[in-house]
Amino acid sequence: QKEVEQNSGPLSVPEGAIASLNCTYSDRGSQSFFWYRQYSGKSPELIMFIYSNGDKEDGRFTAQLNKASQYVSLLIRDSQPSDSATYLCAVRPGGSYIPTFGRGTSLIVHP
């Protein structure tokens, strides 16, 4: 059974700090990795995707992938209260449309 694990949180960080969200996965055949943000009662929004080991940066967001250790993380720099949401990690095997989602980590950024 393919599993994607996330700490449910909540992760509480002060405004302006770096928030670090982590995700581990069990399927070594995974090739595509995604981070979504979901505000309470709203639909998910794709933040980033990453395929290769290393870091990928987009604005205040950095995704980090380590396939050998089977984890992917999301760093949010200069966290803002508007970043308070649940962050979903999703993992997809190579050549497959079917992702496995983690249950999400709740992030709270307090002023």
Partner 1 sequence: DAGITQSPRYKITETGRQVTLMCHQTWSHSYMFWYRQDLGHGLRLIYYSAAADITDKGEVPDGYVVSRSKTENFPLTLESATRSQTSVYFCASSVVRFTGERYFGPGTRLTVT
Binding residues for partner 1, rule: CB under 8 A, are 4, 32, 34, 36, 42-46, 49, 88, 90, 92, 97-104
Rg of the Cα atoms in the chain: 13
Smallest gap from residue 85 Cβ to partner 1 (A) = 14
Could you tell me if 109 and 80 are in contact, meaning their C-beta atoms sit under 8 angstroms apart? yes
Cβ closest to partner 1, residue 42 vs residue 110: 42
CB nearer partner 1, residue 34 or residue 109 = 34
Q: In the bound complex, what is the minimum distance in angstroms from residue 110's beta carbon to partner 1? A: 25
Q: What token pair was written down for 10?
A: 């909540």
Cross-strand pairs, 93: 30
